[in-house]
Structure 1
Amino acid sequence: MTTFTEYNLDPKQFTFLKELQENWQVIRDEFTNFKNQASQEELQFSLDVMGPKNKTIKTKGNSKYSAFGVLFQGIFIEEYIRVHQIQYPQYESQDVPQKALELREKYFPLLCSAIAKTNEITDNVLRNVYFGTFHPGLDVKLHVNYNPHMNRGYLGLIVPPGDIAMKICHDQLYWHEGEFLVLDHSYPHCPHNYTDYDRTVLVVDFFKTDKPRLEVSQFEQELVKERMQENPYSLGVFGKNDKASEEDFIKYGLSHQLEWDKAL
């Protein structure tokens, strides 16, 4: 039986995640259909435009993490691009928001329907929704995600057997297909994929429900403004304050001495 903590949260307490979890196979099918049926141009566009770019969190070695999604800071990707007037020089001859809308509606209608349905009845509790893939050999260095206003849920879509885990504080946690893993990412953590296969989850960031909505909304606005000034291609998801501090390394090392030695 799983023992839940202040950083590994019981998904059942967040009942608004039910709509996504009940449709996990449909969501997985939309993802695999996109990967198999989309043109090379569409695939590249999704990574260039529809995925948050990070300049702070580092990996060990050459293995990478890829991501693209449909919802950022509570609004769909095409509207987010318009609101923040993000420019993509490599696509200057195209209507980028329109292209993002077309891809979203063409390949992910059921996912977007589930998101819209959930946010309609929860006053927009869902903030970011995107697919995250760990490629074989990925080893992410210790970091935090400075989002004290949000929790992060991972809905397992494609999780091969083997050593694919999230090391956070005193635990090593694993993803499972069709299940949510919900974490408070303000705690230092480092995930890895030591298998020969991709691991894909649906990343779902949502407002903390034990804090006043006005408070977390205002904090998000200030944080996103700062992050978009740092890097507009972060889509407000990542920022410089995600870097782990020396204190984080020390705390982490007390429980994971070998990993601490490697990190330092």
Structure 2
Amino acid sequence: MENFNEYHLNPQEFPFLESFQDNWQVIRDEFKHFLQQASDEELKFTDEVFGPKSKTIKTKGNSKYSAFGILFQGLFIEKYIQLHQIQYPDYGSDDASKKALRLREKYFSNLAKVIEKVNFSNDGVIRNVYFGTFHPGLDIKLHVNNNPHMNRGYLGLIVPEGDVAMKICHEQLYWYEGKFLILDHSYPHCPHNYTDYDRTVLVVDFFKPDKSREEVIRFEQEQVIQRMQDNPYSLGVFGKSDKANEEDFIKYGLAHQLEWDKAL
């Protein structure tokens, strides 16, 4: 029996996520097929354009994580690029948008159908959808994600056995293939992967149900404008405010970790 609380949430409270969970093997297979069949040019383009890139979340050591997705702030990637007229070093906005659409339709058609179905029936509740991979040895410093209007769901796709976990407040939580782990990321957390294998999940950000849709969309728009100004390649997912500060450590009873974190 799992214990849920204010930061570790029960997936059954969010029935609109069932469509993702019911199709988790199809989604996983699309991810694997893309990695196996995509050309070097397609892989390079996806890495550079499908983001999100973060300058705020720091790792300990050299091991990194990678992420790419097809939905950001409720828009498919090609529409998001056009809306914000993102200019990439090797691609203009129009060219990047057209290429992104072709790749999304070629490799991720089933995932896109699930997103469209859920958002059509639930007033656009799903905001970001991307694959997140922790490479072996990854250790991320304690941080927050300053998205007080959203919860973050992790649907396990490829989860190796061993010590790959999320430390949040006083708990250590684990991912499981085919199941959602739902967190409120405004609480300090630090994930790691101490195995010899990649861990990949589907990250699904969605609006919290306790505020009016107009209010959270207005907040989201203001936040995204600032984040895109700071770093357009973040796709509005991460921002400068995501770094844990002293108040975060103290507020959640983690003051004893403050000096340890500073030292790292």
Identity %: 72
1:15 correspondence with 2:15: yes
1:189-229 per-residue CA deviation (whole Å, 9 max, x = no partner) reads 00000000000000000000121111111100100011111
Deviation at 1:25, TM superposition (A): 0.2
CA contact (8 A) 1:63 1:136 kept: yes
Deviates more, 1:239-248 or 1:21-30: 239-248
Q: Judging changes above 3 Å, is the alpha-carbon distance between structure 1 residues 254 and 85 closer, same or farther for their aligned structure 2 residues?
A: closer
Equivalent of 1:263 in 245, 252, 261: 261
Question: Is the contact made by 2:69 and 2:77 (CA closer than 8 Å) also made in structure 1?
Answer: yes
Q: Once the two structures are superposed, what CA deviation does each residue of 1:30-80 show, in whole Å capped at 9, x if it has no partner?
A: 000000110111111111000111111100000001000000000000000
Root-mean-square deviation over aligned CA pairs:
1.5
Q: Report the secondary structure of 1:91's partner residue.
A: coil
In structure 1, list runs of 5 or more residues that go unmatched. Answer: none
Counterpart amino acid of 1:231? N
Alignment of structure 1 residues 97-136 onto 2, 5 Å: 97-136=97-136
CA offset at residue 243 of structure 1?
0.7
CA contact (8 A) 1:142 1:249 kept: no
Q: State the shift of 1:262 in Å.
A: 3.6
The answer for the alignment partner of 1:174 in structure 2 is: 174
Instruction: Label 1:248 to 1:75 Cα distance change in 2 as closer, same or farther (>3 A).
Output: same
Q: CA deviation at 1:249?
A: 3.1
Matched length: 262
Checking the alignment, whether the CA contact within 8 Å between 1:156 and 1:180 is kept in structure 2 is: yes
**1:33 correspondence with 2:33:** yes
CA separation in 2, counterparts of 1:230 and 1:91?
A: 20
The CA deviation at 1:89 is 2.0
Structural mapping, 1:131-146, within 5 Å: 131-146=131-146
CA-to-partner distance for each residue in 1:157-214, whole Å, 9 max, x for gaps? 0000000000001110000000000000000000000000000000000000121111
State whether structure 2 residue 228 is matched by structure 1 residue 228. Answer: yes
**Structure 2 partner of 1:43:** 43
Tell me the residue number matched to 1:150: 150
**How far did residue 248 of structure 1 move?**
2.3
SS of the residue corresponding to residue 95 of structure 1 reads: helix
**Separation of aligned partners in 1, 2:260 and 2:174:** 21
Secondary structure, counterpart of 1:58 in structure 2: coil
Q: What TM-score, normalized to structure 2?
A: 0.96
The aligned residue for residue 188 of structure 2 is: 188
What TM-score results when the alignment is normalised by the length of structure 1?
Answer: 0.96
Q: Deviations over 1:217-263 (max 9, x none)?
A: 110010001111111111000000001011223456748x5x65542
Asked if structure 2 preserves the Cα contact closer than 8 Å seen for 1:252 and 1:260, the reply is no
Q: Indicate if the aligned counterparts of 1:253 and 1:260 stay in contact, CA closer than 8 A.
A: no
